[in-house]
Amino acid sequence: MDNNTIVSEFTNMFRLNNKDNRQPKRFILKLLQDSASFLISQKWGERSLLNDINIYTRIECFEFEKINSKKCSNIEFRLCDILMRSKEPLPKLFFSKLGSSIRDIESLDGNYRFSFIDETQYKRNKKRRHSLNDEVYVFLDSDNHLLIPDHEIYTIDLTVLTPDKSSAEDCGCNGKKGGCKPSKWAEIFVCPDKLLESVKDMTAQRLGISRQIPVDPNPNSLENA
C-alpha cells in the first residue's frame, strides 16, 4: 500500500472529504506515519514483528571505509587498531527498549552473521580474553552510520525495518543513487497489515474524530419481513 492509498482510505472512512471536516493530505499522512512508528516501535520491543518479512528492506553490499580511530567520537573505539565506518548512514530506523530495528547483519556470502551491540556490551566483551577473536561486532553510531571495530571489513549485507524504504534501497552498491525516485505519495506506507486498523484509529483519536457508522436506509426492514 502506498501513501496515497492509506490517506484516501482514511479520509473516506472518517468522511474527511467534505469542506467542514477536510484536513490537508500531508497533515493526515504525517499523523498516520507517526501512529505507525509508535505502534511498530512498541511491537518491535515485544519481538512480535520478526516474522513479518514483507515489511523489511534488504540492503546488499553496504560499504565501509577505514577511519582514524583516534578521531572517533565514541571513546570506547579510540584505542582500536582498526575501525571501519559505513560510507553512508542508514535510513531512519525504529527504536524500542531493544534498540534499533536492524534485523540481520551478515557477510556477503550469507555464511556469517555479525553481532550487533552497543557501547556497554562492547566494553564488557572487550575484557573477555577471546571474545573478539571469533566474533565481529557492529555498532550503530548516533548519526546512523555503522561502525565495525577491530576487523577490516569493507562490505556487509543487512536487513532493516525502516519507514523510508526508497532511501534504504539506495543504500547498497546496487542502489540507484541520483536516479528517479517515486513521488512522496507513491512511496510505500510501511506498516504490518495487522496494525493498519489500529494506526487509523490512533490517528483518528489525535484528530478528535470517530468512525462514522453507516445509517440503515431501511431501519424497519426486519419488522416488515
142 or 38, higher pLDDT = 38
With a pLDDT cut of 90, the percent of the chain lying above it is: 49
**Is residue 128 very low, low, confident or very high in pLDDT (cuts 50, 70, 90)?**
low
Q: How much is the pLDDT for 221?
A: 46
pLDDT digits (tens, 9 = 90+) for 165-224: 888 878 877 665 555 667 889 999 999 999 999 999 999 999 988 765 544 555 454 444
In the chain, what are the domain boundaries? 3-51+192-213, 53-169
Q: What is the pTM of this model?
A: 0.80
Work out the angle between the directed axes of helices 196-207 and 25-45 (0-180°, nearest 10). 130
pLDDT digits (tens, 9 = 90+) for 84-96: 999 999 999 999 8
Q: Average model confidence (pLDDT) for the chain?
A: 84
Cβ-based neighbours of 178, under 8 Å, separated by 6 or more: none
pLDDT digits (tens, 9 = 90+) for 174-188: 665 555 667 889 999
Residues 33, 39, 45, 46, CA torsion sign: negative
Cβ proximity of 186 and 159 under 8 Å:
no
Among 61, 66, 59, 91, which residue's Cα sits nearest to residue 147? Answer: 66
